[in-house]
Each structure stands twice: as structure tokens, then as C-alpha cells.
A and B are shown apart, each in its own frame.
Chain A
Amino acid sequence: MKTIRIFREIFFAGLILVFLLSLPYSTSAQDYPTKSITLYCAYVAGATTDITTRALATGAEKLLGVPIMVENKPGGNSTVCASLLASKKPDGYTLAVVPTGVIAQLPQIYKVSYSPFNAFTPLLQYSRYIGGLCVLSESPIKTIDEFIAYAKSRPGLTYGSPGMYSQQHLAVDLFAQCKGLHLKHVPYKGGAEAITAFLGKHTDFIAGSGSHIPYVRQGAFRLLMVYNATKRDPSYPDIPISRELGCEDYPADGLMVAGPKGLPDPIVKKLKDAFKTVAESPEFQKLLVQINLPYDYKDGADIDKEAPANYEWFNAFYKKIGLIK
């Protein structure tokens, strides 16, 4: 008797559940935006990307008139965030700051839940990563040529990078192949971990991803070469870039604001205008200088245009280095 009663209760609860589940997700196309926007960040709180994301959010909030909540969704070299973004409704209330690589490159290496060209609406790119190869300042190696000579005489030098197949790892790898060096890659989870190990002298040099800059400025590290770049870093005009030394370089990933695929045009325009204004503002530019990120603007439509060519290039590249078959 009691059991029957319980089953009846469960039945009613189930009915209500069905009702709740059949409620639609809220949508509203007119008068965008009417409620708060969620802006995902593909990296942990406190990382340089996160700082820029929050700055963008704070600035755009004022222009759009609704709160923009930043949520960190780190992991998987930004694939976690990308996959999450791709699964959201294109109503303009969920956006993310992700590297441009999520469109063309990363899906080729990582198993992601979205298909490469059909997942995102890029809005704009505002910066890109540059990396640097550093040794400790106490090291006798003063220039990149000395480094090459040293590495040739001592095969098996170890270096840390923010992750397996990260741009930094691949750039150094390309460099090593080009100069005929045998270097051992030790993957870490993020730039900070790699730097910690490097400071403790557990690796011989480091493939910096941006977080090395404070240490270079303070004299703890010595920057020998810049990679992921097409021209010399204006703050370090004496340091050569990988290309000048005759080596193929891994093109830098950009940082972009994007939404899921299928974002309606009026919403896209509104968002682009807002974020562009913030990115060009003096406060934001000052922030970029402070955390040593270059300002590199690209419109979302251009990012989309370049995607197929990027895809082909990386496809060939990954095949060449044996990453994919």
C-alpha cells in the first residue's frame, strides 16, 4: 500500500519534471541585449588572457548596458572552452575569448565535440601570443648563436612548455629541427608551472608563452630568441626572431572574442562595435602594454576567411611533424 503511494508520488514528480524540461530556453531577438551576457575565458583566472577578458567585459558592459559575467573554463589547451561555446545557442548571450586556433588547428590534434568550420562566429581578434626562448640570467649563454653551439655539443637539453603541442612547444620543435638540435621537451600544464620548474633548474631552458616577460624585465631570465612572430618585438629590438635565423616558425595564435555559429547579423554588429571600441580605448591599450601583449586587431569576418587556408597549412604541417597521419 505504501509502495503504491510512493509510486504515485514519483509519477507526479515525473510529470512536473517533464513539464519543466519542456520549457524552452529563453530567447529574444529584438532589443538585444536584454539580460546579462556570459563571457567564457579559455584560461584560468589570473592568466594574461583572463585579465584581458575581464577588461573587455568591464568596458563592453558600459556600452551594451547589461552586465557581462566572465566565467573561466580552462583546460584542454582551450578546447574545453571552445567545445562548450560551440554547444551554446547563438542568441548572443554566450560568448567566449578563445585562441583563433580553435577554428582550424586544434580540432586536428584534439578530439573536440564540434566540427572545425561550423562551430563559431568570430567577432574580432584583439591580440596574439608571442613567445620567447629564455635561459636563466646566470647562464653563460648570451646569444642565440651561443645557444645553438651549446645545444649541438650537448644533445638532450630539456625545456618546459605550457603544454603538449602548444604553440611554444611546436615553435621550439621547429627551431630544433631546422638547426639540427636534439632537444627534449617536458610538457607542463600552463606557463606558470613551466616557469616554476625552470626557476628550480629542473629544465635547461624554457619555451616562454608570455608569462616569462616579467622575469626577463626583472633580470631573472635572459631572452635569446622570439618565436611565434613575424617581426621583432618592439620592446626587445636586439632579439632575433626565429624566421630571421632561417627557420620556419609556427604562426602565432590570436586571441579572439567569438560566439557560437549562427549568430544573427544585427547582434554581431552590435557586439563587434562594442568590443572594438573597448579594445581601442586607451585604458585597454595601456593594459596590453603592462602585461606585454601586442595589439593585433582583425575583424571576425577576416578570421573566417583565412580559416580554410589555415586549415590546409596546419594539416600539412602536422602531417610533416608526424602529429597526424
Chain B
Amino acid sequence: MGADRVSGLFWLVFGLICIYGSVLLELGTFREPGSGFFPFLAGCFFSLMAIIVLLRSLIPGRGFQAKLSSLWEGLNWHRPLAVGLLMLGYILALERAGFFLTSLILLFFMLKWLEKFPWWKALLIPLSASAFIYLLFHTLLKATLPMGILGI
């Protein structure tokens, strides 16, 4: 399947969902638009564009025709995915475990497992970075960083 076909389809489906959501909010009248009026227009507009993209993808030679698999050919897609998941974990754990601990662990994972750094580097860099950021944000800028159970 061509890339444009997939993306066009995706945006079209998303657009239809948005249109539906907008209708649920009041549409109002043309002279007195309700809450759903504008989102409805926006949704219709980009759905229309999505249809055009989709149709264009059916014509050979127009649009971005690269095959899906070719988009990631020769590229290591594991790394962005792993980093993304790590970041997700970070977000979930941040307010419970506190900034220092979570940052330490995040950095450690990225350096040790993804980048295969030796142990000492994978510990030293996160420690110094987390400490630096802590000093910078908390002490100097007085921004509030989430404190976890360790109180740091």
C-alpha cells in the first residue's frame, strides 16, 4: 500500500470522528454559530483534503507513492520505539518516584541498553546530569520539580 493511501485513509477516518464529535456539540445556525460549528467546518475541511490525498494516491505517479515498508528500509525503527516507550514510562512514574530517581533511571536505560555504554559511564552521566538539572531548576530557578518518596 502506498504511503499516501494509508495516511489519507487515516486522516479521513479521524476527520469523520471529528465531524461526528462536532455534531454532538451544538452546531447552531449560520448567524449564531454554536460550539460545534467551527470544529465541524474544520473537520469537514480536512476530511475533504484527506479524500483528495486518497484519490490522488490511486493515480499512479501522483503523490507520495512509496510503499509502507520502504519508509523504514534500512533504518532501525526499534530505537525510536524504545525511546518512546521509555519516555512514556517516565511520564507515568514521574510524580510518584520523583524527578531525581526517574531521570536517573531513564538516562541509565538509554545509555546502557540503547547505546551500549560501559557501566560506569551509564551511571556517571545520569547522576551528574540529574544533579545539574536539579540545581538549575530547583535551586536557581525555583521551579517546582516533582518530589517523590525520597523527598528529592
Contact = CB atoms under 8 A, between A and B. Distances in A.
Interface in B75-102: 78, 82, 85-86, 89, 92-93, 96-97, 101-102
A23 B149 contact: yes
Interface in A235-277: none
Contacts of B86: 13
A142 interface: no
B144 A21 contact: no
Contacts of B102: 20
Contacts of A69: 144
Please classify the interface of chain A as helix (H, G, I), strand (E, B), loop, or mixed, using the class held by over half of its residues: helix
A24 B149 contact: yes
Given A13-B89, A17-B92, A20-B105, A26 B151 contact: yes
A24 B150 CA distance: 11
Contacts of B149: 23-26
Nearest to A9: B113
B93 A21 contact: yes
Contacts, number: 44
Contacts of A23: 96-97, 148-149
Interface in B9-30: none
B72 to A, nearest CB: 14
A149 interface: no
A323 interface: no
A69 B105 CA distance: 27
Interface string B53-65: 0000000000000
A20 B78 CA distance: 24
B147 interface: yes
A85 to B, nearest CB: 16
B40 interface: no
A71 interface: yes
B24 to A, nearest CB: 13
A62 interface: no
Interface of B: 78, 82, 85-86, 89, 92-93, 96-97, 101-102, 105, 109, 113, 144, 147-149, 151
Interface of A: 2-3, 6, 9-10, 13-14, 16-17, 20-21, 23-26, 35, 38, 69, 71
Q: What 5 A-B pairs are tightest by C-beta distance, nearest first?
A: A20-B93, A17-B89, A20-B97, A26-B149, A9-B113
Given A9-B82, A20-B89, 13 more contacts: A13-B89, A13-B109, A13-B113, A20-B101, A21-B93, A23-B96, A23-B148, A24-B149, A26-B147, A26-B148, A26-B151, A35-B147, A69-B144
